[in-house]
Amino acid sequence: MSTPTADSPSLAAGEAQARRLDESDPSHRHLFHVPPADGGSYSESAYLAGNSLGLQPRATRDELLADLDAWGRLGVEGHLEAERAWLPYHELLTAPAARLVGGRPAETVVMNSLTVNLHLLMVSFYRPAGARTRIVIEDAAFPSDSYAVRSQARFHGLDPDDTVVRLRPRPGEDALRTEDVTGYLAAEGDRVALVLLGGVNYLTGELLDIPAITAAGRAAGAVVGWDLAHAVGNVPLALHDWDVDFAAWCSYKYLNSGPGALAGVFAHERHLGDPNLPRFEGWWSTAAATRFEMTPVARPPATVEAWQISNPPIFAMGPVRTSLELFDAVGMSALRARSLRLTGWLEQLLDEVTADRPLSVVTPRDPARRGCQLSVRIGAGSAGELTKRLRHEYGVIADAREPDVVRFAPVPLYSTYHDCWRAASALAALVGQSTKGGSA
């Protein structure tokens, strides 16, 4: 396989180079539905928004229809008699989800949606006491996480403005430095009850040093949880070995399981079966063998399934199962290797684009400190307007985070070098025009 760096990219010669690289380092695009282009001269869009909503695997529809047919054929008997019986259906997702996050099967379960799961986990793991009340998040946390932790503080009768600490990058910098996070925890850690950070930041694309920050938080006596919405399926994870207390993620971004797809949860083995941890319970919290004994008191298993509450939506699990099978087949380490090549190539093209335009890449330049996404800050105009023009004039789908960030995520499963070239050259064309028109 030729390596991308053997071809030094340039926008002008880029299309031919991109085609060569797509032959020597192919994607699994054929396994996905790629939306048709809304503009420009190619039939398919250059889809670089998989960080927001992943593409639909071609296999998903048939798998979903098979589950639907089982209901039609079997009615209530499908709970036990469907080919993939509904009662234990979620167990089919456990092992592949555990492999993806580096958890043990007893530590991993697919259920609910992300922010709901964060709340259920905080019921157990955010237990302010005495002077130890603070929750540490990043200042650029996704708003849902920020709302969630603030509401948890209020739930405990605390003032969220005093309780939630938002860590900011140093002045003039876009990414958090690991030593600033661990430094805060060393200095103030005895006031911290919970650290809850995004593994990969949704805005900047920065991958935090999860093991180092987890170790620092735990050494300070805090509980350390991770929101892996932008990390799962994007970067290799080893939650058990990294000693993470808990984590949650969604499945509609890099996991390609469809809008609002079922989410995942990890709780470290040391917390499983602990009778002193508060938890919200329902009939799916009791051990499966006792579920139909209809007793008034739950007998939770010593696994993360104790955090389940309701019987799960079967038709929402098929798409997650299908997607996880794809990750198992391709393998996260092969995906990460291709991701490093693909994003590295886009970065070189973007360097050429940003060199003489009012644009800058805000994602860390060290590949070890990022996933596949590159975020570009635009110096003038609106990010939303720019992404609209990328889509309607060039068929390039990226996404805007107002006021001034456009995110490009070459997803190693289905994005191509040609997609990257299309994005960079469209950006060059559009921003070149707007600079002349706007600020000259």
Ligand-binding site membership of 115 (annotated): yes
The count of C-alpha atoms lying within 13 angstroms of the C-alpha of 393, restricted to the half-sphere facing its C-beta, is 14
State in angstroms the smallest separation of the CB of 366 from ligand PLP.
22
Cβ nearer to ligand PLP, comparing 266 with 417: 266
What the block records as the tokens of 46 is 């250059």
149, 249, 377, 393, 407 from 143: Cα distances, Å: 10, 15, 19, 31, 17
Element (H, E) at 143: helix 143-155
- With CB under 6 A as the contact rule, the residue among 57, 96, 102, 198 that binds ligand PLP is 198
For ligand PLP, give the closer residue by CB, 172 or 259. Answer: 259
Task: Look at residues 356, 341, 365, 338 and name the one whose alpha carbon lies nearest to residue 427.
Answer: 356
Residue type, position 132, single letter: R
Q: Which residues contact 262 (CB under 8 A, 6 or more apart)?
A: 110, 111, 112, 113, 251, 312, 313, 316, 317, 320
Q: H/E element holding 138? A: strand 134-138
Site string for ligand PLP, 325-354 (x = CB under 6 A): ------------------------------
Cβ-based neighbours of 54, under 8 Å, separated by 6 or more: 233, 252, 253, 254, 255, 256, 257, 323, 411
Q: Which is nearer to ligand PLP, 54 or 78 (CB)?
A: 54
- Closer to ligand PLP at the Cβ: 142 or 284? 142
Beta strand 246-249 with 223-227: parallel, antiparallel or unpaired?
A: parallel
Nearer to ligand PLP, 230 or 391 (CB): 230
Nearest to 223 by CA among 139, 133, 157, 103: 133
Contact residues for 212 (Cβ-Cβ < 8 A; gap 6+): 178, 182
Kindly state the smallest distance separating residue 253's Cβ from ligand PLP, in Å. Answer: 6
418, two tokens: 């040609």
Site membership for ligand PLP, residue 152 (CB under 6 A): no
Map the footprint of ligand PLP across residues 255-274, applying CB under 6 A: none
The C-alpha atoms of residue 437 and residue 434 are separated, in whole angstroms, by 5
Q: Show the site string, 365-394: x = touches ligand PLP by CB under 6 A, - = not.
A: ------------------------------
372, 407 contact by CB (below 8 A) = no
Which residues share a beta bridge with 376?
A: 361, 406
Smallest gap, in angstroms, from Cβ of residue 410 to ligand PLP? 18
Among residues 242, 287, 298, the alpha carbon closest in space to that of 269 is found at: 242
Residue 252 labeled ligand binder: yes
**Contact mark string toward ligand PLP, 104..123, x via CB under 6 A:** ---------xxx--------
Which of 32, 126, 142, 242 is the binder for ligand PLP (CB under 6 A)?
142
Task: Provide the 8-state DSSP code for 236.
Answer: -
Judged by beta carbon, residue 229 or residue 362, the one nearer ligand PLP is: 229
When asked if residue 53 is in the footprint of ligand PLP (CB under 6 A), the reply is: no
144 annotated to a ligand binding site: yes
Sole window of 58-66, 152-160, 226-234, 282-290 interacting with ligand PLP (rule: CB under 6 A): 226-234
Select from 84-92, 224-232, 317-325, 407-415 the region that touches ligand PLP (CB under 6 A). 224-232
Q: How far is the CB of 115 from ligand PLP (least distance, A)?
A: 3
93/231 Cα distance (integer angstroms): 18
**Binds ligand PLP by CB under 6 A, chosen from 7, 107, 145, 399:** 145
User: Binding of ligand PLP at residue 250 (CB under 6 A)?
Assistant: yes
Omega within 30 of 0 (cis) for the link into 301 = no
Task: Give least dist CB 299 to ligand PLP, A.
Answer: 30
In the numeric block, the tokens 């860390």 are attached to: 364
Q: Determine which residue in the list 47, 202, 242, 394 makes contact with ligand PLP, applying CB under 6 A.
A: 202
Residue 286 assigned as binding residue:
no
Which residues bind to ligand PLP, rule: CB under 6 A?
113-115, 142, 144-145, 198, 202, 227, 229-230, 250
| Residue ranges at the known binding site for pyridoxal 5'-phosphate | 114-115, 142-145, 227, 230, 252, 283, 311
Q: Which residues are annotated as a binding site?
A: 114-115, 142-145, 227, 230, 252, 283, 311
